[in-house]
Chains A and B, each alone.
Chain A
Amino acid sequence: MNVFHFMLENHDEVVELMLEHLWLVGLSTMLAVLIGVPLGILIAHRSRLSSPVLASANIIQTIPSLALFGFLLPVSWLGERADRLAIVALTLYALLPIIRGTYTGIRKVDPAVLEAGRGMGLTNSQLLFQVELPLASGVILSGIRVALVISIGLATIAAAIGAGGLGELIFRGLAMVDDQVILAGAIPAALLALSADTIMGWLERRLQPR
């Protein structure tokens, strides 16, 4: 097939773009975990904060991605470099599933178990690290899994602002009206998403508390 011919002939470029893609997705998801998990823990314990935080993350999610890139462009530190901007935008998109996963996971922990722990004299941080987080880990991971799969798709659009990644082939193919070039970007992106989903699903099952 011609697509694979094209990919073989340009394998250096395809691999490089794929690595770039992974870098954008990996870094942004990591940042989203670093922000989203603590936020999710916070709102699970302070229920008054839960609606405003979840609503804000929801609103971010509804902004069309191209528009979000546009909004962030004038911000001076971000506008300087396209990959910076793309990473911030992707981080913002990944927040909602991660915050919501953490929040739901912790709220789902059996209150009787928590009360037993508290009654035995566990401190709040012992309760969090020994009971709440381990029991919520499956749901938290499924949030991260969703975020990851969304990000891999979304990151193709980052090429529109010159941040690189597999989107570059897709946009080039669009400009050239060449299906093969589009597919040379789209197929690896789809494969990345599938493998991320599979790996995370496996991790989720392994970490699932009995």
Chain B
Amino acid sequence: MQEAAAAPAPASAPVIEFREVSYGVDGAEILSGLNLQVRAAETLLLLGRSGSGKTTTLKLVNHLLSPTAGEVLVRGVPNAKSDVIRLRRSIGYVIQDAGLFPHFNVERNIGLIPRIEGWPEERIQARVRELMQMVGLAPEMRARYPHQLSGGQRQRVGVARALAADPEILLMDEPFGALDPLTRDELQREFLLLQQRLRKTVIFVTHDLREALRLGTRVALMEAGRLVTALAPIEFLQSPNPLAAAYVKAFGGDLESLARRGSS
């Protein structure tokens, strides 16, 4: 209902769209009949417990998985019909523990895709410098290797790497999940600032309701491979849906201020 109100102009056509998407392995259905649209500059938070199908949903977008039924469209083109390498290079991907290449230093990790894409060396260097500043990494980190970085620093490198070729879409799979609470808080705050500036289309997976309310422009709750509901943070808190209510109850007090901060 919410969507219909904001009459979709052609410009705000969904950047990512799931049409009746199911995914299963060996007869076990992990995702069933997902219908979901993600619009430009939206930060959609996929919330749910382990095994609810969040990560599967994410991997269907960059075609690490292909649906067993239905179709996933990115910028209006079904994934099955697009060049998978081009598709992935146009989508930033950040995972938990960053998945940095351990044998590359920070500079080479961040510059990998520009380098593969054949950018001239000066442009790569300039881009790496710009990105490191953007994600709050001191210039002297450039030559460090992942094992010489803290968890928070690794995650910053992961975000910078995903942004390197300036993709329109960003997929983030529990990027802050393994961090201590203080670092997580810091990175969440910086993510909000960054997103205000960059206005990427983001799908962000988490099992943390607080994170979802704080970062999301919309929170999509998943349970057992189904989308339960997708609502703005404030509406999510007030949702009569029993699953959403159970989630809210489990996390307890002071959620409203989080939700307001995120949406403001």
Interface residues of A, Cβ cutoff 8 Å to B: 110, 112-113, 115-123, 126, 130-131, 134-135, 209-210
Contacts and interface: CB of A to CB of B under 8 A. Distances in A.
Contacts of B62: 119
B88 A112 contact: no
11 contacts: A110-B99, A113-B101, A115-B64, A116-B95, A116-B99, A116-B100, A120-B89, A120-B113, A121-B87, A130-B101, A135-B102
A118 B112 contact: no
Contacts of B100: 113, 116
Contact of A119 (B86, B88, B116): B88
A120 B93 contact: yes
Contacts, number: 59
A11 B262 CA distance: 83
The interface residues of chain B, by DSSP majority, are classed as: mixed
Contact of A131 (B91, B95, B98, B101): B101
Given A112-B95, A120-B93, A210-B147, A134 B103 contact: yes
Contacts of A209: 102-103
A120 B95 contact: no
Given A120-B112, A120-B113, A121-B113, A115 B99 contact: yes
Nearest to B95: A116
A135 B103 CA distance: 7
Interface string B72-110: 000000000000011111010101111111110000000
B191 interface: no
Given A112-B97, A210-B145, A123 B85 contact: yes
A157 B95 CA distance: 54
Interface in B121-171: 145, 147, 161-162, 171
A210 B88 CA distance: 28
B178 to A, nearest CB: 11
A116 B102 contact: no
B103 A112 contact: no
